[in-house]
Structure 1
Amino acid sequence: NQNSISNLEQQILLDELGAEVDEKTKALDDATMQLRQLKAQNMVMNSQIGILRRKASKAGKAQSVLQSQMDDLLAENERLAPWVKLGKRAEEYRAMWLSERQLAVAAQAGEIQYTKESEEAMERRAALITKMK
């Protein structure tokens, strides 16, 4: 009878140990599943990081090319600036010459008469021409 109690106690202990082993095995299985999920997430994130690095590299190269083109355009703009200024002056001279020419033609045709105001306007034009030179 003592033997059967001992066997019963051993069976209870074995059942408790079995339950504890089952519980720990389930916890280990859960942890393993979480680890697999984390590894999968890590792989996805590493892939995304690689993609972003490649995009950043391409963007950096594109930015470098654009910066170079912008520098070239700025240099060309600087090189052309005196010519642009000269072109503007030429347009101003042309406009003044046409104005004076129109005044002279109109005066010859008798359409207008030189007045004090027209003399002052011609003096202002002459001063402007002198200033532009």
Structure 2
Amino acid sequence: SGAGDVNGDRFNDLIVGAPFVDIGAGTDSGAYVVFSGQSGSLLYGFSLSLDPYQISQIGYSVSGAGDVDGDGFADFIVGAPFSDTTGTDSGFVAVISGHSGFPIYGLSVTSDTYQISHFGYSVR
């Protein structure tokens, strides 16, 4: 998905989700990677430790988000629809700094009503 210009080189960059990657002991914990739109080289790749022993599938959905934090670099969002952060398969969405690749903040649904809601299945 288009991530916008995350590194300030005036070229739009690309974010790719890898939701079935196994990180540490976490089966299908997932990851996301960002590639330079100018050269195609890897800018960075990350995983979030949401549920280290669960199937979070971070990167299941990815999307550019514009400059959310106002630092002059495009940011993006990644979904982890099978995260158990607030209940079984409740899901989680992280807003990621395009400049650093680290989370600005996370979003989740906290009501028991939304268990197994797969929040983050689709982000735009």
> TM-score range, shorter-chain basis?
under 0.3
| Structure with more contact order per residue of length (Cα contacts < 8 Å, sep ≥ 6) | 2
Bigger helix fraction: 1
The structure number with the bigger radius of gyration is 1
The TM-score, its normalising length taken from structure 1, stands at 0.18
